[in-house]
Each structure stands twice: as structure tokens, then as C-alpha cells.
């Protein structure tokens, strides 16, 4: 995975501004892994996709991730931090095929999620996902699942690809309420990419006005040199 340049961040931010979050995640990975085709990335198990996003996030913004959430019980602000090193994964550890009650399934991927983005009913969405990732077509029984089967198979698929979803176990210091908070690495990374892009454009505007430099000249500066020039302009 290559390190993204300042110009890469601006291009990624500009391209992703009009895309769905699922597509933004794949575009970000494709920019860091130029040898991988978009269709190939879309077929990656979600755990492999999320591990790649975590690796890109570490390379771009550091190992520690810090943020806050509101307690769903009392609304108290709760700060948290996460060592993204814990989100590493070996793609070889993700099962390519899972046999459940005689039926074969594959791990969920980005295409599967894209197929349910407009589905509001959770049970219907879960059923659609199982049908998509079931490898046994025809009359073998992959068309219908009971509610109990949907729950049981979903658990097995989560176990086969543990990084498909990252849950933070949190407890409010104010009211004692405990809950699981999903961490969407794609959304988190995109927020940071947007913030960096806006800072870069502000630096370009300021330094171009002060020194007459072009955008390319400003972006070619290291973060340290560009930051020092910004300090001198603002002094």
C-alpha cells in the first residue's frame, strides 16, 4: 500500500464528494493500491476491505484514533480512543466458504451492502444478504430462510469474518449505561480526508496570495515547511 500525497488527498476528496460512502471506501483503497481493480475490491470480504481502510488510516493519520459519542441513555458526551493496530487482519484468515447446515456461503462484500442501501426493513435486508452470499442456487433452499435461520447464519458469517463489523464496547460514566457502538472506518476515514483537503486548500490560498506560488508548488512542500510558512504569513 503506497502512501498518499497531498495531491492524492485533494483528488480523492474531489472524486468522493459525489459518491456513495460505499464507493468512497473503494476509491480510497484503489488509490492506495493502484494495482487492484475496482471490481476486484468490490468483491473483497468486508473484513479485508476494513483492514485495508484501517491500514490506510494509520499511514495517513497515525495509529491512534480518538473521538466521542453521545450516550443513548442520557446524552452525556463520552470520549474514547482506539489503537487501530488491533484492526489488522490477514486476508488468509477470512474463510472463503462457510458451510452452515449443509448450505455453502461466502463472506459478505461491498456489492452485497450496495444491494440493500435502500432497504428499510432489517429482516428483509438480512434475508437479501443471505440470498446474495449463498453459493448453492437452484432448489437447494437458498431462497427462503426462517427468522431463526437468519439469526444463526448471520452469527456464523460474523465469526468467519470478524472484521466485517467493528463494535466498540462503551459504558457511560454518568449513568452507567453500557452499549455497543459500531465503528464505520470508511466514514471515519472520509471525515479525516475531507478535513485534510480543506486545510490544504486553505494553505494553498494563503501562500499563493502571500508569495504568488502555484497550487502544485504549495502542495510539493513538506507538512513541516508548509506549516512554518503559514506561521510566518500569519505572524
| Location of C-alpha cell 490544504 | 200
How does pLDDT run across 161-208, given as a tens digit for each residue?
988 988 999 999 999 999 999 999 999 999 999 999 999 999 999 999
What are the tens digits of pLDDT across the range 57-85? 999 999 999 999 999 999 999 999 888 88
Instruction: State yes or no: pLDDT of 139 exceeds 60.
Output: no
Query: Cβ contacts of residue 174 below 8 Å, gap of 6+?
Result: 71, 74, 76
Looking at residue 86, its pLDDT comes to 77
Residues of the chain with pLDDT > 70, as a percent, come to 95
Task: Tell me the mean pLDDT in the region 76-105.
Answer: 81
Domain boundaries, the chain: 1-66+182-235
pLDDT of residue 227: 95
Beta carbons of 28 and 110 less than 8 angstroms apart: no
CA atoms within 13 A on the CB side of 77: 3
pLDDT at 141: 55
- Least Cα distance to 95 among 157, 26, 49 occurs for 157
Q: Is the pLDDT of residue 118 over 60?
A: yes
Residue 24 or 145, more confident: 24
Res 92 pLDDT > 70 = no
Contacts 24+ apart (CB under 8 A), 152-159: 152/100, 153/100, 153/101, 153/105, 154/126, 154/130, 156/98, 156/100, 156/105, 157/98, 157/105, 157/107, 157/108, 157/133
**235 band by pLDDT with thresholds 50, 70 and 90:** confident
Provide, rounded to the nearest whole percent, the portion of the chain with pLDDT above 90.
Answer: 66
CB 8 within 8 A of CB 28: no
Copy the grid coordinates of residue 63: 495509529
Residue 9 near residue 201 (C-beta atoms within 8 A): no
Backbone angles phi, psi at 138, to 5 degrees: 70, -135
Sorted by sequence, the CB contacts under 8 Å of residue 28 that are 6+ apart come out as 12, 16, 53, 56, 186, 189, 190, 193
Which region among 88-97, 149-158, 202-211, 217-226 has the lowest average model confidence (pLDDT)? 88-97
Beta strands in the chain (DSSP E): 64-70, 77-83, 98-100, 103-105, 166-171, 178-183
Q: What is the pLDDT of residue 143?
A: 63
φ, ψ of residue 16 to 5 degrees: the values are -75, -15
The C-alpha cell of 134 is what?
A: 449463498
pLDDT at residue 225, rounded to an integer = 96
Predicted confidence at residue 137, as pLDDT, reads 64
Amino acid at each position: 500500500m503506497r502512501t498518499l500525497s497531498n495531491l492524492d488527498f485533494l483528488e480523492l476528496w474531489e472524486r468522493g464528494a459525489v459518491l456513495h460512502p460505499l464507493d468512497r471506501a473503494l476509491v480510497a483503497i484503489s488509490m492506495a493500491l493502484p494495482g487492484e481493480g475496482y471490481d476486484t475490491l468490490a468483491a473483497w470480504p468486508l473484513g479485508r476491505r476494513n483492514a485495508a481502510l484501517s491500514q490506510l488510516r494509520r499511514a495517513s493519520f497515525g495509529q491512534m484514533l480518538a473521538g466521542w459519542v453521545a450516550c443513548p441513555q442520557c446524552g452525556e458526551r463520552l470520549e474514547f480512543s482506539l489503537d487501530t493496530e488491533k484492526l489488522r487482519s490477514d486476508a488468509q484468515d477470512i474463510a472463503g466458504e462457510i458451510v452452515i447446515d449443509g448450505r455453502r456461503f461466502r463472506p459478505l462484500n461491498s456489492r452485497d451492502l450496495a444491494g440493500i442501501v435502500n432497504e428499510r426493513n432489517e429482516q428483509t435486508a438480512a434475508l437479501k444478504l443471505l440470498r446474495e452470499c449463498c453459493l448453492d442456487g437452484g432448489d437447494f433452499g437458498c431462497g427462503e430462510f426462517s427468522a431463526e435461520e437468519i439469526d444463526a447464519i448471520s452469527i456464523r458469517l460474523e465469526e468467519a469474518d470478524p472484521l466485517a463489523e467493528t463494535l466498540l464496547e462503551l459504558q457511560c460514566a454518568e449513568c452507567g449505561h453500557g452499549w455497543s457502538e459500531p465503528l464505520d472506518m470508511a466514514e471515519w476515514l472520509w471525515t479525516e480526508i475531507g478535513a485534510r483537503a480543506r486545510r490544504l486548500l486553505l494553505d494553498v490560498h494563503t501562500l499563493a496570495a502571500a508569495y504568488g506560488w502555484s497550487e502544485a508548488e504549495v502542495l510539493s512542500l513538506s507538512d513541516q515547511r508548509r506549516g512554518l510558512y503559514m506561521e510566518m504569513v500569519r505572524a
